[in-house]
Structure 1
């Protein structure tokens, strides 16, 4: 029987690939390999389909608003100013770069760093679905004190006080606050209000190479609850019925937009060193390969 190369590959895959799935994975390897052999979108997921909104960062930043100090102040960036100059797309990558200023800006001596911030408010937001980011974090062990990259969701027009933190990571310091080391781990949190107290959080297992390798953080929101994943592994789940405050924060029908930022310092996990690069590096690039969003299947 004569087969053209593409058909031969498909036939081989159908025969050779195992039919069973591996526990803990979001989809079967055979599904993904076959999808790509057929020329399907690599972002296709059997349970979700293809993304309804995405940025592979192959061009500009039309899908985001780039915030700047001149128009949006300093936000809550405890030790840094925000500037549009710190956000760039090059070679298929979004990079938000934090760095130490050569000299403090007059009137902002308590903010010796500059950093970047983007969001999708007014451009894209939704209720329910799946959000995913592939990124490499600017957290070299032992020299990233106070550096705080994050990917999170907030409701349009502050319709509720709810907040969904898909990924937050905290640079390591000489000592570990709360007797817990943040090295090699990232956090997921669900805030029912903005008090900082009414929330639930969870940590990933240890992840080798947070600062040297790319990893995938995913979040799924359905009418019954929420789930967080790292590299395909489920590590936190919240059921709507288990939290009395859930409906007020996340059950109103409000749509949530995305935020990507790199903050410097917090009262929880420490502040950056203003002058010593061996404690807080001079330059910290937060590199994002893609952001993808799927809507809830009907």
Structure 2
């Protein structure tokens, strides 16, 4: 699939302080309070996807118990424990938690302040998957699932292995590189499990930049962006978990991934002048007030047009019947939306501003 890159996004390459000046907070969980996690923001993914096991040889059960995930003293704790636990007719020797966010977004700046668990065989991760993934037991699968992994795309903001204690890594999984991926980078953090650090991602239409405490360790910006290398023009949702690998020590008792906050910022400032791209697709006026006119070449008549909110909700879905189509946006709230137009393997993705 060829993706025509026509999105305009300001603020690329900013420092963290500049991010705070130019980006607006659009979603967050500060993990205040005590007790169970906020069920309006998070979903416990517990179903065994392969009937009796998880992926990657993981040996834990993920549970929805407060013993494995809870909020206290201003932080989220995801606790991996050594204990026999039976669920879905299967007994396992360890438990943990895997959270899916009920929020999905496209582009922005993410900060997660966290302290990592310790122990050979522990595998904590703070990451995202495409909202369109088909995955047994996942929060979005039944309502939004259209493709399998890795076609949905995966962004590993931070992953850590207990047998490489002070090294943290960021990685990308796409159809062009998955499994033993080559698209990765990391850095050594001596206090990764004894102090909080800020793990960040800046996601623009052109690249992904990963940092710890403002120090960059990896940038993903493939020169040829297509469905194989860049399935990242659509909403992704967060996953937070601590997996247990078979090499876990017999002496392991429990350890926690502790998260102070997770925040998503987006830049509300867009260049919205009418853009005519190589394939002749035009949008106007943009910003739109009541209607948005979509002009396409004859080759795109019959294409599927979809409009999404930044949380991933599909608000419009229709076939383009002629070269000039009008979309009624009068009922949309003011803000930023994503329009995709797809036909026979070609796709155009555009940002639309509703005034």
> As a proportion of its length, which structure holds more helix?
1
Cα distance in 1 for residues equivalent to 2:267 and 2:41: 21
Q: Which one of the candidate residues 82, 85, 96 is aligned to 1:115?
A: 96
1:258 equivalent in alignment to 2:233: no
Determine if contact 2:61/2:85 at 8 Å carries over to the other structure: no
Which of structures 1 and 2 has the larger relative contact order (alpha carbons within 8 angstroms, sep 6+)? 1
State the shift of 1:192 in Å: 1.1
Give CA-to-partner distance per residue, 1:32-90, whole Å, 9 cap, x none.
xxxxxxxxxxxx70232x31000001144121112234899654261101111111111
Structure 1, unmatched stretches of 5+, are 1-23, 29-43, 173-181
Partner of 1:18: none
1:165 equivalent in alignment to 2:124: no
Residues 1:91 and 1:195: Cα distance change in structure 2 (over 3 Å): same
1:126 equivalent in alignment to 2:87: no
CA RMSD, Structure 1 to Structure 2 (Å): 2.6
Cα distance in 1 for residues equivalent to 2:109 and 2:232: 18
Q: Which one of the candidate residues 27, 38, 46 is aligned to 1:68?
A: 46
- Give the match's secondary structure for 2:247: coil
Cα distance in 2 for residues equivalent to 1:90 and 1:71: 30
Cα distance in 1 for residues equivalent to 2:262 and 2:50: 24
> As a proportion of its length, which structure holds more strand?
2
Q: Which one of the candidate residues 40, 53, 72 is aligned to 2:27?
A: 53
Determine if contact 1:147/1:272 at 8 Å carries over to the other structure: yes
State the shift of 1:105 in Å: 3.8
Partner of 1:208: 190
State the shift of 1:249 in Å: 5.0
Give CA-to-partner distance per residue, 1:71-120, whole Å, 9 cap, x none.
9965426110111111111121111100000x4649645x3100001011
Determine if contact 2:132/2:152 at 8 Å carries over to the other structure: no
1:271 equivalent in alignment to 2:247: yes
- Give the match's secondary structure for 2:61: strand
Q: Which one of the candidate residues 16, 26, 33 is aligned to 1:26?
A: 16
Cα distance in 1 for residues equivalent to 2:178 and 2:256: 30
Residues 1:246 and 1:171: Cα distance change in structure 2 (over 3 Å): farther
State the shift of 1:198 in Å: 4.7
TM-score by length of 2: 0.59
Partner of 1:99: 81
Structure 2, unmatched stretches of 5+, are 1-13, 134-146, 271-355
Residues 1:198 and 1:282: Cα distance change in structure 2 (over 3 Å): closer
Cα distance in 2 for residues equivalent to 1:286 and 1:54: 18
Cα distance in 2 for residues equivalent to 1:257 and 1:295: 15
Larger mean CA deviation between 160-169 and 194-203 belongs to 194-203
- Give the match's secondary structure for 2:132: helix
1:79 equivalent in alignment to 2:73: no
State the shift of 1:157 in Å: 2.4
TM-score by length of 1: 0.70
Residues 1:26 and 1:66: Cα distance change in structure 2 (over 3 Å): same
Partner of 1:217: 199
